[in-house]
Amino acid sequence: MFSMAASGSRSRPQGCCPFEPLDPLPKTERDRRVAVFKALADPTRLELLRSLAGQAGPTCVCDLVDHFDLSQPTISHHLKVLREAGLIEGSRAGIWSFHRVAPGAVELLGAAPDLLRPR
């Protein structure tokens, strides 16, 4: 194994580890992907998204509060983060708030492997 410390030199051997620079993601695309990853990095938000995905239609926040050991304001905060990331959408009926997985969420999550493919 090559060790820089053992050789006393900081230069790389000729032909070692060629680096192919990639163009950075456009800012809007990067920011959107970061928001999705941040939203899903929280265990509660991940489970909220999974719970919503498992329902036949929009789900009332009151049903989500019953399923999680968290207060309604905390659930609402997590739903807001998921909504801002584009993963869910919400609607209101009087004082009740209903949420469902956004139509583009699967495509948004499905684009994640593209980050690991050279362009």
Q: What is the structure's pLDDT at 9?
A: 59
Q: What is the structure's pLDDT at 1?
A: 47
Q: What is the structure's pLDDT at 97?
A: 93
- For 34-60, what is each residue's pLDDT tens digit? 999 999 999 999 999 999 999 999 999
Pick the CATH number of 27-113 from 3.40.50.410, 1.10.10.10, 1.10.3470.10, 1.10.3720.10: 1.10.10.10
Q: What is the structure's pLDDT at 78?
A: 97
Residue pair 33/115 in contact (Cβ under 8 Å)? The answer is yes
pTM over the 0.85 mark: no
Percent residues over pLDDT 90 in the chain: 60
- Average pLDDT estimate for 98-118: 82
pLDDT of 70 above 60: yes
Indicate the burial class of 86 (C-beta count within 10 angstroms; 0-12, 13-18, 19 or more).
middle
The values of phi and psi at residue 100, to 5°, are -150, 165
Q: Which pair of structure tokens corresponds to residue 77?
A: 């905060």
Distance CA(84)–CA(21), nearest Å, equals 31
